[in-house]
Amino acid sequence: MGRNVSFREPLSLDLPAANTDSIDSIPAIDVGEEDEDSTPRASSKSTLETALFKTIENAENGFHRAIGSKNWIELDQLLGEVETKKAQSATAAIEPNEGEDDAPENDESDLYGLNEAGRAPLHLCCMNPTPEDLLFRTLSAAPDIAMVPDKNGCLPLHLAVSSGRNTRFVEKIIEFHNEALWTRDESGNTPIMLGIEKARKRQQLQTKTDKGPLWCFSIEPTKEHLQLEVEKTWHQVEVLLGNRQKAKVPLCDHEHMYIKGLFESAAPPTTVELAILLGKEALKKEENVQSSIIPCIREQYPSTVLQKLIEACPQGLPKVQKDLSGRGIVALHYSMGSKVYDTSWPERLSFRTRLDRSSESAL
């Protein structure tokens, strides 16, 4: 029968590097200000208990074996049997025939069977290079599994993100269970943290031979092509952040360090702007602002990004200017990369005018 679980308090661990490739492009997401009520919504305990009650422990079955051996033809046949029974059951319930017994039983229990690691077929589909059609059909046949963690505390969303499943499928899981976006596994990782680590590693390979700032206003075709490739790499992270914004759930304490990581990795400007909006609490700490501003300028992000970063900081601008080098933000902005990419000078000049005005008002 169903698993006997206890509902844990959130973990408070020192975060290890998240264990972490088909990623598409995304248009910029238009996000608004956070509502006052931005507290994470708790899962419906009764709904989760219902999902857990359906699961069957130590019940590895044909679905597990087909996915484990990557026998997609067999998985297709097994799903077809479940789908046929579902359709027959639904038809009989709507149009019962006289003289016939009750509607045929909709036997989908195998999709709720758990192996020794506490994983249902959906978990395994998320971990393996399952064809897209079969991914969606497995989720649709047993959507409750989207809220069932395995023995490592990983929900299907964690596994899908860390294993590089496509973004359309990730969005579909979120539709069924968006609270997975801020759920931590046993190692303390949320799907956003796992997605950032995966994107960072992929970008390191993409930019291995690149020289100079990534987001400068260069007219070099190779640089523009690289920027597009990097945007594709970070697309899934941007989708995860965008859905957190829709849910009005800001980044949690253990996710704040990843704002700095986004700048250091030279993530796309639209991704960084979302993280700034969701991580305003982190930017109340001066050390976080300083450690974010320096790589922000070094990679020559658009001045709009730097402006949002400064606006998110509650301290006065003169205080923020005390970076480790002893130079202020303006000096740092002029000194990094300016000799190579002359096309960025108008951008810096325009920004300095606005920055000087901000300094006067802060004083």
Span 318-329, average pLDDT: 50
* pLDDT above 90 for 248: yes
Most confident listed range (81-85, 285-289, 298-302, 359-363) = 81-85
The alpha carbon of 191 is separated from its chain's Cα centroid by a whole number of angstroms, namely 5
Per DSSP, the residues of 285-342 read SHHHHHHHHHHHHHTT--HHHHHHHHHT--S-HHHHT--TTS--HHHHHHHSSTTT-G
Q: What percent of the chain has pLDDT over 70?
A: 67
> Given this model, what pLDDT does residue 344 score?
42
Lowest mean pLDDT among 38-52, 95-109, 171-185, 201-215: 95-109
Smallest Cα–Cα separation from 165: which of 14, 50, 22? 22
Q: Residue 162 in contact with residue 184, Cβ under 8 Å? A: no
> pLDDT: is 44 or 119 the higher one?
119
Q: How confident is the model at residue 49 (pLDDT cuts 50, 70, 90)?
A: confident
State the pLDDT at residue 352: 42
Binning pLDDT at 50, 70 and 90, where does residue 300 land? confident
* Average pLDDT, rounded, for the chain: 75
**Phi first, then psi: what are they for 338, rounded to 5°?**
-70, -25
Higher per-residue confidence, 59 vs 93 = 59
210 has pLDDT over 50: yes
CB 188: neighbour CB atoms within 10 A? 18
* pLDDT score for 312: 79
pLDDT at 118 over 70: yes
pLDDT at residue 332, rounded to an integer: 55
> What integer pLDDT is reported at residue 5 of this predicted model?
37
Q: Find how far residue 305's CA is from the centre of its chain.
A: 20
Determine the average pLDDT of the residues in 238-252.
94
Predicted pLDDT of residue 29 = 36
Query: How does residue 280 score in pLDDT terms, banded at 50, 70 and 90?
Result: confident
What are the start-end ranges of the H helices in the chain? Answer: 45-54, 62-68, 72-94, 121-127, 132-141, 156-162, 167-176, 191-206, 221-233, 235-246, 257-264, 269-278, 286-298, 303-311, 317-320, 329-335, 345-362
Q: Is 2 a residue whose pLDDT tops 90? A: no
- Among the listed ranges 67-76, 330-339, 352-361, which one has the minimum average pLDDT value? 352-361
CB 300 within 8 A of CB 336: yes
Rounded to two decimals, the pTM is 0.75
Spatial distance between the Cα atoms of 297 and 117, rounded to a whole number of angstroms: 46
16 pLDDT band, cuts 50/70/90, is very low
pLDDT at 32 exceeding the cut of 70: no
Contact by Cβ (8 Å): 322, 331 = no
Residue 139 has pLDDT above 60, yes or no: yes
Q: Sorting pLDDT into bands at 50, 70 and 90, what band is 217?
A: low
Please give the Cα distance from 157 to 143 (Å, whole number): 12
